Amino acid sequence: MSTHFDLCIIGGGIIGAGIAQAAALNGLSTIIVEKRGWGAGNSSKSSKIIDGDFEGIPRLRFANVRERLRERRIIRDIAPDLRKVDWFYLPIYKQNIQKSWQVALQLRIYDALAGSNKLASFQHLPEKQWRNLHGLNRHDLSAVYAFQEIHIDDTQLAQNVLRSAKQHGAMALCPVNFEGARQSDDGFVVSVAKGSRNRDFDCRFLVNATGAWGDRVSRSIEGVKNPLAARSIKSTHIEFREHLSDNSFYVEGRKGANRIAILPWRGGTLVGSVDSIFSGNPERVIPSNEEVDYLIEITRHHFPHFQHEPFDAWSGLRLSSAQHRGVLSYKDKNLGHTDERYLCVRESQFASYRAVAERVVISVMRSLNEKTAPPPEAHYICSSSIQL
């Protein structure tokens, strides 16, 4: 095994795998290390949807929405065996905070921001078709809209991206523990362990893609500053063995809270997510009884006939920057703190893994290139055509 690399990535979730793929594709000698399993952490605890961040429209996150819509189209094209394009039905009730005309306007903006990346134009379902949405509560129902998003097997996507990275030359170690890193004359000396065996190797650039574990990992790296302040957001889902519907739904949460997805999943039904701020040990994130009860309540309100109990509930963590959005430009806000040869990836969305990886690798190449070299953007090889 080689002991000298251009880039070492800590963390084998979808973000780390994407960075490894992009780096290897662009000729960087790359190694990625993971403690548990590829895509086995928070990457496996998503809502199983690649979406364009429709919720970002009323919050004016237009740049993020546009990027997510572009990435959604790319994933549709490069992962045909992992994804399913599906209609999501959005019921609007008289008591909802957002009224029918507001949702219709947001959907028009959503389609306009997608441009050529649009899957299909949204639809306003005629009232006579509401009965086809079997089991949906039609009391005080004022409108139903439908728009397309993508179902995805999140764990398999992360594993396929990692496999692509290895095919393009990246080395992958799993399961190994990251023991720490110390600065050297040309980057870092990284230490990993598997059982009683320890191994050191050199890298010119070190990327921390461990998500909610980022702060802890940074503290074990000699000579780097603490990363930008970030807060952890816990997202909780519940699963039912029973099949509610062949259709997928987005329904409004209580008092205008984020919409909840209700969709068929592995023969049963997946519901989520409800989000809350999390502080504590990321190894010990579990759903609360209140979160589970809330998701059950939302499901039964919209589908009164569905009185089953969930057989499983789980929570994942994602990061949200605690700084004001104006502090960092959009281009750099997902990258977080960077020293000359170290970068801690922050506030990364599953659906945008490929775009985040591209920004990270361009930043790495810019740091490693000679001063007289052309900018990396001029010869960057994009992963948007690499089939998964």
Cα–chain center distance at 245: 25
| E-state strands within 241-377 | 248-251, 260-265, 268-278, 312-321, 342-344
- The rounded mean pLDDT for the chain is 91
Whether the per-residue pLDDT at 177 is higher than 60: the answer is: yes
Q: Which CATH architecture has domain 230-322?
A: 2-Layer Sandwich (3.30)
Where is pLDDT greater, at 111 or 346?
111
pLDDT, tens digit, for every residue of 58-86? Answer: 999 999 999 999 999 999 999 999 999 99
Question: Residue 374's pLDDT is what?
Answer: 82
Residue range 71-129, pLDDT digits in tens: 999 999 999 999 999 999 999 999 999 999 999 999 999 999 999 998 999 999 999 99
Report the length, in residues, of the chain: 388
Reply yes or no on whether the pLDDT at 157 is more than 70. Answer: yes
Across 206-223, average pLDDT: 92
Backbone angles phi, psi at 164, to 5 degrees: -65, -40
Q: Cα(336)–Cα(148) distance, rounded to whole angstroms?
A: 32
> What local confidence, expressed as pLDDT, does residue 321 receive?
53
252 pLDDT tier (thresholds 50, 70, 90)? very high
Query: For residue 228, what pLDDT band results from cuts at 50, 70 and 90?
Result: low
Cβ-contact 205, 364 below 8 angstroms: yes
What tokens does 149 get? 């998003």
SS3 136: coil
**Domain extent listing, the chain:** 4-43+155-228+325-385, 55-152, 230-322
- The token pair at 39 is 């895509």
Helix (H, G, I), strand (E, B) or coil at 93: strand
pLDDT given for residue 336 in this prediction: 54
pLDDT of residue 255: 76
Q: What is the pLDDT at residue 151?
A: 95
pLDDT recorded at residue 1: 66
Q: What percent of the chain has pLDDT over 90?
A: 79
Which range in 144-153, 213-222, 367-376 is most confidently predicted, on average pLDDT?
144-153
The alpha-carbon radius of gyration of the chain (Å, integer) is: 22
Phi, psi of 102 (to 5 degrees): -70, -45
At residue 254, does pLDDT exceed 90? no
- Indicate the pairing of strand 83-93 with strand 248-251: parallel
Q: Which residues contact 257 (CB under 8 A, 6 or more apart)?
A: 274
Q: What is the pLDDT of residues 297-318, one digit of tens each?
A: 999 999 999 999 999 999 999 8
* Residue 7 near residue 190 (C-beta atoms within 8 A): no
First to last CA, the chain: 26
The Cα 377–Cα 346 span in angstroms is: 22
Q: Is the pLDDT of residue 150 over 90?
A: yes
User: Given a cut of 90, is residue 34 above it in pLDDT?
Assistant: yes
User: What is the predicted pLDDT for the residue at 259?
Assistant: 94
Task: Give the residue-averaged pLDDT of 39-56.
Answer: 93
Q: What is the mean pLDDT of residues 363-378?
A: 85
Q: Locate all alpha helices (DSSP H) within 26-153, ordered by sequence.
A: 62-78, 100-114
Q: Can you give the pLDDT at residue 142?
A: 96
Distance of CA 190 to the CA centre of its chain: 27
pLDDT at 324 over 50: no
pLDDT of residue 182: 95
pLDDT number for residue 320: 73
pLDDT interval class at 378 (50, 70, 90): confident
Report the C-alpha gap between 245 and 98 in whole angstroms.
25
Dihedral Cα 301, 304, 308, 309, nearest 10 deg: 20
Specify the pLDDT at position 152: 95
Q: What is the pLDDT of residues 9-27, one digit of tens each?
A: 999 999 999 999 999 999 9
Name the token pair of 303: 């589908």
- Give the homologous superfamily in CATH for domain 4-43+155-228+325-385: FAD/NAD(P)-binding domain (3.50.50.60)
Q: Sort 111 into a burial class: Cβ within 10 Å, 0-12 / 13-18 / 19+.
A: middle
